[in-house]
Amino acid sequence: MAPAVDAPGSMYDNGRADFPAPPPNRQDIAMSYPVNDRQLIRDCEIGEGTKVWNFVNMYGCKVGRDSMIGTFVEVQGGVTIGDRTRVQSHTFICELVTIGNDVFVGHGVMFINDTMPPQPEKEKWKATFIGDGASLGSNSTILPVRVGKNAVVGAGAVVTKDVPDGAIVAGCPAKILRYKEGYGPKK
Ligand SMILES: CC(C)(COP(=O)(O)OP(=O)(O)OC[C@H]1O[C@@H](n2cnc3c(N)ncnc32)[C@H](O)[C@@H]1OP(=O)(O)O)[C@@H](O)C(=O)NCCC(=O)NCCS
Which CATH number belongs to the domain containing residue 143 in this structure? 2.160.10.10
* Share of residues in the chain with pLDDT > 90 (%): 72
Q: Give domain status of residue 11, yes or no.
A: no
CA of 158 to the centre of ligand 1 (A): 13
Residue 81 has pLDDT above 80, yes or no: yes
11-17 mean pLDDT: 42
36: in domain: no
User: Ligand 1 mean position to 15 CA, how many Å?
Assistant: 43
Our answer on whether the CB atom of 172 is closer than 6 Å to any ligand 1 atom is no
Residue 81 structural domain: 41-179
- Report the distance separating Cα 5 and Cα 77, nearest Å: 27
Residue 7 lies in a domain: no
Atom from ligand 1 closest to the CA of residue 139:
44
Q: Is residue 35 part of a domain?
A: no
- Whether 83 is in a domain gets the answer yes
Nearest CA to ligand 1 atom 12: 177
Mean pLDDT over each residue of the chain, to the nearest integer: 85
Q: How far is the CA of 154 from the centre of ligand 1 (A)?
A: 6
Whether residue 28 lies inside any domain: the answer is no
Mutational pocket test of ligand 1: of 138, 177, 178, 183, the residue with most ligand atoms within 8 Å of the beta carbon = 177
- Comparing 7 with 125, the larger pLDDT belongs to 125
Q: What is the pLDDT of residue 27?
A: 41
In a domain, 118, yes or no: yes
Residue whose CA is at the smallest distance from ligand 1 atom 14: 177
Q: What is the pLDDT of residue 3?
A: 35
Instruction: Give the pLDDT score at 187.
Output: 76
Total domain count, the chain? 1
Q: What is the mean pLDDT of residues 145-149?
A: 98
Q: Is residue 21 in some structural domain?
A: no
pTM as predicted: 0.85
Tell me the C-alpha distance between 128 and 162, whole Å.
Answer: 9
Distance 80 CA to ligand 1 centre (A): 28
